[in-house]
Amino acid sequence: MEICVFGAGSLGTLVGGILARENEVTLVGREPHVGAVAKSGVQITGEITETVRPAAVTTPPEAADLAVVTVKSFDTPAAARELAECSLGGVLSLQNGMGNEATLAGELDCPVLAGTCTYGARLAAPGTVECTGVGGITLGPAAGGHSRLADRVGEIFRESGLETAVSTAMPAKLWEKLAVNAGINATTALARIPNGAVLDGSVHEIAKKAAHEAARVGRTAGHDLSGDRVVDRTFEVAAATAANTSSMQQDVLAERRTEIDAINGYVVDNAERPVLVNETLTALVRAWERERGLR
């Protein structure tokens, strides 16, 4: 399969690199990273160790069977406009936050799949990505149900070595992922702690309440989300990625804009009654961004 990975940062490079074992992959990203990949390939280190040689460019190719989108949520509109110039058989979003699939579908004349991913990744240097944790990918039609494209993409991912499941209930899966991220990301970013630190101590209740609030908002939106189950899932993810630095904390440490609007901010914007923990986390991260001219 010809696959374009649009947004070759840490996760995009790791997923694209693994897919390049069995497919023709083009990573679309920024210099100096794509230049290093074009010259020497992708060096994968950490829990997966190998060198793969996908193509690497700064603009998307004219055509691909599948585009895997891994840009930050606030860059989704720009990504959709660029990909609209390509001939695509389908698109898969592996992004954080909510609303990405609708944005892509509004610009693109092809099926859009939704996905969640719990692989841990960190760009160690241009051309080098560290796999900080082997997780899994769940994907399926953004609106739920079955599709041949989802089944085919799931098969391709598994054949390449990615732990992948195909789901008919992606709207609920996306809300579950949102709740997990709401509990972990802003909490760890503000406290400058690894994911595992939310398992106990003073921030445990903050993460728990943030995830519980998000599940409640998801239920109001019509999805089958048990608050207790979502909280359990949050701490399962935290335990499995205990040594990891969350993506939002990576952004804070690098003084980059975060995805707070599409995670905790999305919970706040869609709540019918107060979600005090998410409101507080959102306000604090947004204040940090404003102080640095990032908003």
- Domain edges within the chain: 2-167, 171-291
Indicate the CATH number of 2-167 among 3.40.50.300, 3.40.1380.10, 2.60.120.260, 3.40.50.720: 3.40.50.720
Same CATH fold, 171-291 and 2-167?
A: no
Among residues 72, 173, 177, 209, which one is catalytic?
Answer: 177
Looking at CATH, the fold of the domain delimited by 171-291 is given as N-(1-d-carboxylethyl)-l-norvaline Dehydrogenase; domain 2 (1.10.1040)
Q: Is 177 a catalytic residue?
A: yes
- The rounded distance, in Å, linking the Cα atoms of 127 and 179 is 32
Instruction: Please say whether the beta carbons of 188 and 202 come within 8 A.
Output: no
Could you read off the pLDDT tens digit of each residue along the chain, which spans 295 residues? 999 999 999 999 999 999 999 999 999 999 999 999 999 999 999 999 999 999 999 999 999 999 999 999 999 999 999 999 999 999 999 999 999 999 999 999 999 999 999 999 999 999 999 999 899 999 999 999 999 999 999 999 999 999 999 999 999 999 999 999 999 999 999 999 999 999 998 899 999 999 999 999 999 999 989 999 999 999 999 999 999 999 999 999 999 999 999 999 999 999 999 999 999 999 999 999 999 999 8
Kind and range of the H or E run holding 160: helix 148-160
